[in-house]
């Protein structure tokens, strides 16, 4: 069940500009979970981290390194956590 809630939240961020704007303030995975909960998308930090980990399995080493170079206080950090959000970023972001 958690994955479907997580996927609904992820998709909402993709399609709702206000939700995406709110995600920019998230600097930790717990911030993302709390933000989702504040919008009635409730899932655990454990479920979120497992989802992020499973998403990252398909990344190349260079993609992982590129993601890791972004500090968590950068506005785009949260968008790099999962593929649908990474796809929202313009080249060079």
* pLDDT, position 90: 75
Domain of 67?
A: 2-86
Q: What is the count of structural domains for the chain?
A: 1
* pLDDT surpassing 80 at residue 82: yes
Q: Is residue 92 part of a domain?
A: no
- Give pLDDT tens digits for 38-62: 999 999 999 999 999 999 999 999 8
* pLDDT, position 67: 87
d(CA 59, CA 18): 28
Q: Is residue 11 part of a domain?
A: yes
* pLDDT, position 75: 93
Q: Is residue 93 part of a domain?
A: no
* pLDDT surpassing 80 at residue 84: yes
Q: Is residue 14 part of a domain?
A: yes
Q: Is 6 exposed, middle or buried (0-12, 13-18, 19+ CB in 10 A)?
A: buried
* pLDDT surpassing 80 at residue 93: no
d(CA 23, CA 75): 8
Pick from 5, 3, 89, 92: nearest CA to 42: 5
Q: Is residue 45 part of a domain?
A: yes
Q: Is residue 39 part of a domain?
A: yes
């Amino acid at each position: 069940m958690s994955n479907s809630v997580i996927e609904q939240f992820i998709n909402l961020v993709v399609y709702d500009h206000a939700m995406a704007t709110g995600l920019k303030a998230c600097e930790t995975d717990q911030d993302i979970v709390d933000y989702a909960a504040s919008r009635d998308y409730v899932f655990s930090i454990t479920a979120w981290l497992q989802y992020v980990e499973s998403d990252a399995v398909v990344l190349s080493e260079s993609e992982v390194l590129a993601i890791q170079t972004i500090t968590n206080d950068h506005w785009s950090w949260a968008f790099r956590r999962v593929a649908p959000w990474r796809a929202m970023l313009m080249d060079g972001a």
